[in-house]
Amino acid sequence: MRMVIQRVQHAKVTVDGAITGQIGQGFLVLLGVGMEDTKEIAEKMADKMIRMRIFADENDKTNLSLQDVGGQLLVVSQFTLYADCRKGNRPSFIHAGKPDQANALYEYFMEYCRRTIPVVEGGVFGADMKVELCNDGPFTIVLDSAEIIK
């Protein structure tokens, strides 16, 4: 599982001109599901993300988590995070999860996050989405389960 986490002041995703997800302060997460991913991996990645301390405390130190600041979460499926660009100029996506598996884990990831984060919004899996955000910082983190989960 791969995630690009962006700390945002606000973000939204639209499909065919209709807003499907919109948040205030929190994280915009681009989520890629790989062929080897499981619910257990999704849970571990969600826990890592939720506990990341990348919001400023009263001393302006990045010391607070999404939970600490009452932040919201917008999760957008992004199979292109599994692009393999080693050969040629056209990326290969053979390591991305199959659509049914990836969608199920995307939905499960959001459901799992809702257990601790009150506002969890999403895009539409497989749709042509337009994502707008105000990156706060900017502060962007990339997590890859292959590097985090042993």
Within 10 angstroms of residue 14's Cβ, the number of other Cβ atoms is 18
CA 76 from centre of chain: 6
Tokens of 50: 């939720």
CA gap 67, 51 in Å, rounded: 7
Count of CB atoms within 10 A of residue 64's CB?
16
Active site residue 79: yes
Catalytic: which of 78, 93, 109, 140?
Answer: 78
Asked if 125 is an active-site residue, the reply is no
Please give the structure tokens belonging to residue 28: 């915009």
Closest alpha carbon to 32 in 1, 5, 74, 4: 1
Catalytic residue selected from 9, 67, 80, 93:
80
Is 80 in contact with 30 (CB distance < 8 Å)? Answer: no
Q: Is 80 in the active site?
A: yes
Catalytic position from the list 6, 14, 27, 79: 79
Task: Look at residues 102, 37, 43 and name the one whose alpha carbon lies nearest to residue 76.
Answer: 102
Residues with a known catalytic role: 78-80
